[in-house]
Amino acid sequence: MTAGGRFTPGAGHREIVFLTGSGISARTGLGTFRGPDGLWALEPETEEAMHAELLPGSLPQLWRVWGRMARIARGHGPTPGHRAIARLGAPVITQNIDGLHQAAGSEVVAELHGSALSAVCLEVRCTWSAPLSPGEGSRAEDHGVPGACPLCGAPTRPDVVLFDEQLPQEALELAMRLAQRADLFVAVGTSGVVFPSAQLAPLAASHGATTVLIDIAPPSGSGTLFDHVIAEDAHEVLPDWERRLHRVGGTSFLDPFPD
C-alpha cells in the first residue's frame, strides 16, 4: 500500500496479468460501449448492426463502424495506460479490438473480441485473413482489402466478434491460462459484467491471486468482486505503478521498494 492508502503492487507480485476494457482506450476518442453515454445508447443503429444474425446485410454498417474505430485508434496511438502496461512486461487479456496494446509494445495479448485491424472471410470454414488499412466508407475496398474472399469468393468482414458469436477459442484458452497463473489480476476500464470475461477475476482469485479493479467510475458492487477497487484515472495509476516497480533509475521491478 502507498502512504495514501492506494494499493500498489510489490516485489512479491511476479505474475501480474491485466484485463482491459474500453475504458483504457476512451481518451483516444473511441469512447465506451455501455451506459447512457456509451456507443450503444448514442448510436442504436450501430448496436443493431452488431448482431450476427443480420449478416451479410449489416456488412456496410460494420465496415463504417469498425473502420472508423480502427482509424481513430491508429491515429491517436496508445495511451499512457497502454504504455505503462507494456513497460511492465505483463500479459494482457483485452476486450478491445483497437490493437493499442500491441502498438504500445505488449507482446502477449489475448484479444477476446477480435481485431478491427484485420479482415476475415464471412464463411467460417474459410481460413483467409488479412491486415487492413483503416479508411472511410462502407466497403471492404475502402479499407484496403477485397470485398470478396480470394480463396472462396464469400464476402469479407472485419475480424470482430459480434453478438451471438463465439469468442475465438485460442484467445479464450490463453486468457484462462493467464488468469490461473496470475498472482495479481488487474482489471482496467471494464465493467466486469460480460461473460466469459466476468469469470476471469474470480478464476484468478480461486488460484490465489490478489484482484484489483482500476476504473474512474467503478460499477456498483465492485468491492464485493475485487480485493481492491481504485476509483482513479488508470492513466495516472498505471504509470505510477510502473515507476514504483521499476524504481526509475534503479533496478529490476522485482526488487523491493519503499512505501
Domain locations in the chain as residue ranges: 16-246
Is residue 42 scored above 50 in pLDDT? no
Q: Are 131 and 113 in contact (CB under 8 A)?
A: no
Mean pLDDT value of segment 101-114 = 97
Per-residue pLDDT at 108: 97
**What share of the chain in percent tops pLDDT 70?**
84
Is residue 63 scored above 80 in pLDDT? yes
Residue 255 pLDDT class (50, 70, 90 cuts) = very low
| DSSP-derived secondary structure for 21-74 | -GGGGGGGTT--SSSTTSHHHH-HHHHHHTBGGGTTTTHHHHHHHHHHHHHHHH
Per-residue pLDDT at 214: 95
Mean pLDDT value of segment 116-128 = 96
Sign, Cα dihedral of 109, 110, 116, 119: positive
Is residue 6 scored above 70 in pLDDT? yes
Cis geometry, peptide bond prior to residue 146 (ω within 30 degrees of 0): no
Is residue 219 scored above 90 in pLDDT? no
Q: Which of 51-65, 70-84, 139-153 has the highest mean pLDDT?
A: 139-153
Question: Does residue 170 have a known ligand-binding role?
Answer: no
Distance of CA 231 to the CA centre of its chain: 19
| 207 noted as active-site residue | no
Mean pLDDT value of segment 100-128 = 96
Mean pLDDT value of segment 155-161 = 96
| Of residues 259 and 209, more confidently modeled | 209
Residues near 153 by Cβ (< 8 Å), separated by ≥ 6?
none
Q: Are 46 and 39 in contact (CB under 8 A)?
A: yes
Per-residue pLDDT at 198: 83
Mean pLDDT value of segment 94-109 = 96
Question: Does residue 253 have a known ligand-binding role?
Answer: no
Catalytic residue among 113, 143, 235, 246: 113
> For 23-37, 96-110, 174-188, which range has the lowest pLDDT when averaged over its residues?
23-37
Question: Does residue 103 have a known ligand-binding role?
Answer: no
Question: Does residue 152 have a known ligand-binding role?
Answer: yes
Is residue 32 scored above 70 in pLDDT? no
Question: pLDDT tens digit string along 166-179?
Answer: 999 999 999 999 99
Top CATH class, 16-246: alpha beta
Cell numbers standing for residue 14: 511476479
Residue 2 pLDDT class (50, 70, 90 cuts) = very low
Mean pLDDT value of segment 121-127 = 95
Per-residue pLDDT at 147: 97
Question: pLDDT tens digit string along 225-234?
Answer: 899 999 999 9
